[in-house]
Structure 1
Amino acid sequence: MARGKQPAKAHRAPKVRRAVVTYTVADFESAFWPDEQPVDNAVVMTMGALHAGHAALIRAARKQVGPEGRVAVTVFVNPLQFGAGEDLERYPRSLDEDVQLAEEAGADVVFAPTADEVYPNGEPQVRLAAGPMGERFEGATRPGHFDGVLTVVAKLLHITDPDFAFFGEKDAQQLAIVQRMTADLDFDVEIVGVPTIREEDGLALSSRNRYLSEEDRAHALALSKALFAGRDAAAQGPKAVREAAAAVLDTAEGVTLDYLALIDPHDFVEAADDFQGEAVLAVAATVGSTRLIDNVRLICR
């Protein structure tokens, strides 16, 4: 049943700030809601291998809910969003380090369930469908990926029951689709995007960066350089944005381009040449054996 945003939920505040690690839904609920004091709560959903980008999400969540609020971090490598031949088995897993980073950034509870805990009836026979928004760009390259993302996000929203959920703008299409899901299906949560965190040389932080060799990493800088060149041309309109970014990638070494697209962030379709307003310039490419994505937000005039 559809429902409007309700007043502050009568959830319960943590007794301590040190992060508690939980592996089951029952243990999570016990650790996250130890008493009846009403407070705001937030969740940051991750697949682990946490880095400074995730820390920024957790800090943003802590700032939003305040010192008396609750922040949960989920660590779950979701098999539903990996396709055949993708890196599910080799995806980095480092729970001890993840817990330390989450705690230092302000988390109260880390929820690190197994696949059997999240999907107790086995592989779900009923899943959420991302629809047309999930069939473009990343969805075209990775069919079914966003169906898997939405299915696990919906389940984790039910389990953690947050007032706010924080997602990185680096995964721009994921952010847009999650925002649309919660709006279209009347989830009682505010989805908050947090800007991409970058290395000093411009490389967007990603858990997959650890796969890059030193040479690959140098080649990967072409992605952010292309995006920045496109952003610098935004005052001249969409055509100039695309041309400036493409010029950088055309001469890049060690980069196999998947797509470069200027996108309307509201429905994630390609922006027309006369488009004006906020847009997302997104790129996906393989560097060495690692597929990377990145984007910048800009204003087309």
Structure 2
Amino acid sequence: MLTYTSIRELRERLREWREANPKGKVGFVPTMGFLHEGHASLIERSRGENGLTVVSVFVNPLQFGPNEDFERYPRDPERDAAICGRAGADLLFAPDVREMYPKKTITKVLVEQLTDRLCGASRPGHFDGVGTVVSKLFHIVQPDRAYFGLKDAQQVAVIERMAEDLNLPVEIVPCPTVREPDGLALSSRNVYLTAEQREQAVVLNEALGKAEEWLAEPGIDAAGLRERIVAYIGRAPLAVIDYVEVLTYPDLQPPDSVAALHIGRGSRIIVALAVKFGGTRLIDNRIFG
């Protein structure tokens, strides 16, 4: 695996590879580092589907609000490189902030409507930063396929729509959420949890499992389902709910009927959660249908 910190040098290496492999496909896994097995699964899938796999590690300041954890966001570049190498990455792109943003950014990529709810409502400006940095990375790498975990399903929906609306020549590949043995979704922020918080955090996956059972009940509507999920999460004393939403997917709108909630009726439903344990905010979701 080769590591690059310069946009110019990475582009030159990609140009050379494409000239030598004119029919080869480039897979891309953008990350914010502090990698775990969830990221490794994306890299491994790209490795199996493409001739060259590029991984980026960049903690993007544009997607953090003024009171969020940019400075304390966990970083471990040596461990990240080791995980990328074991998973089969060919190129690692690890720029610093000055390389990605040499001047104050006055051009941004904004995706409307899909960002009005969920984390977009809880973290104003977050998806402006996501859209901008992912657009930049797509232009730098010019991948044929890009791989994203569905743990952040809203992010996947936003990036899919951005690529569609802007006619970007990249296939967005959503990949299943990878979980701990007890069901907690893998996240770089899990390291912040105390032992007691970690024990109680499994309530998120448990609530999503109950949601699947409740969705099978005749006549269940979004409001009733949400009320049951909130009550279930409330069984964990340390859990502070940011949001619990039941929406259509990928357009992220309230379902227009009880029938729309029934699995197999033509539209997909997402149950999405954001819950804080102390100062750590965890997200999770499940998509049905």
TM-score above 0.5: yes
Q: Residue 41 of structure 1 contacts residue 71 of structure 1 at CA under 8 Å; is this kept in 2?
A: yes
- Deviation, structure 1 residue 263: 1.5
The residue aligned with 1:43 is: 28
Secondary structure, in 3 states, of the residue corresponding to 2:230? Answer: helix
Secondary structure, in 3 states, of the residue corresponding to 1:210? Answer: helix
The residue aligned with 1:103 is: 85
Q: Residue 32 of structure 1 contacts residue 108 of structure 1 at CA under 8 Å; is this kept in 2?
A: no
Q: Return the TM-score normalized by structure 2.
A: 0.92
The residue aligned with 2:6 is: 24
The residue aligned with 2:264 is: none
Secondary structure, in 3 states, of the residue corresponding to 2:169? Answer: coil
More off after superposition, 170-179 vs 248-257: 248-257
- Deviation, structure 1 residue 243: 4.3
The residue aligned with 2:236 is: 252
Q: Residue 219 of structure 1 contacts residue 254 of structure 1 at CA under 8 Å; is this kept in 2?
A: yes
**Deviation readout 1:148-201 (Å, 9 max, x if unpaired):** 000000000000000000001000100000000000111111001000000010
Secondary structure, in 3 states, of the residue corresponding to 1:281? Answer: strand
The residue aligned with 2:254 is: 270
> Of residues 23, 39, 43 in structure 2, which corresponds to 1:58?
43
Secondary structure, in 3 states, of the residue corresponding to 2:240? Answer: strand
| Matched AA of 2:3 | V
Q: Return the TM-score normalized by structure 1.
A: 0.89
The residue aligned with 1:230 is: 211
More off after superposition, 136-145 vs 241-250: 241-250
More off after superposition, 217-226 vs 27-36: 27-36
Does 2:154 match 1:169? Answer: no
**Deviation readout 1:110-142 (Å, 9 max, x if unpaired):** 00001111112x221111112121121111111
- Deviation, structure 1 residue 235: 1.8
More off after superposition, 219-228 vs 266-275: 266-275
| Matched AA of 1:88 | F
Distance of 2:158 and 2:121 partners within structure 1:
14
Distance of 2:228 and 2:42 partners within structure 1:
31
Q: Residue 278 of structure 1 contacts residue 297 of structure 1 at CA under 8 Å; is this kept in 2?
A: yes
More off after superposition, 147-156 vs 213-222: 213-222
Secondary structure, in 3 states, of the residue corresponding to 1:270? Answer: coil
Distance of 1:260 and 1:226 partners within structure 2:
11
The residue aligned with 1:83 is: 65
Matches within 5 A, 1:182-201: 182-201=163-182
Gaps in structure 1 of 5+ consecutive residues: 1-18
Secondary structure, in 3 states, of the residue corresponding to 2:201? Answer: helix
Does 2:140 match 1:159? Answer: yes
Secondary structure, in 3 states, of the residue corresponding to 2:285? Answer: strand
Q: Residue 234 of structure 1 contacts residue 298 of structure 1 at CA under 8 Å; is this kept in 2?
A: no
Distance of 1:26 and 1:129 partners within structure 2:
26
- Deviation, structure 1 residue 273: 4.3
Distance of 1:32 and 1:217 partners within structure 2:
42
% of aligned pairs identical?
A: 43
Q: Residue 198 of structure 1 contacts residue 205 of structure 1 at CA under 8 Å; is this kept in 2?
A: yes
Secondary structure, in 3 states, of the residue corresponding to 2:28? Answer: strand
Q: Residue 262 of structure 1 contacts residue 270 of structure 1 at CA under 8 Å; is this kept in 2?
A: yes
Between the two proteins, the alignment pairs up a number of residues equal to 277
Gaps in structure 2 of 5+ consecutive residues: 262-266
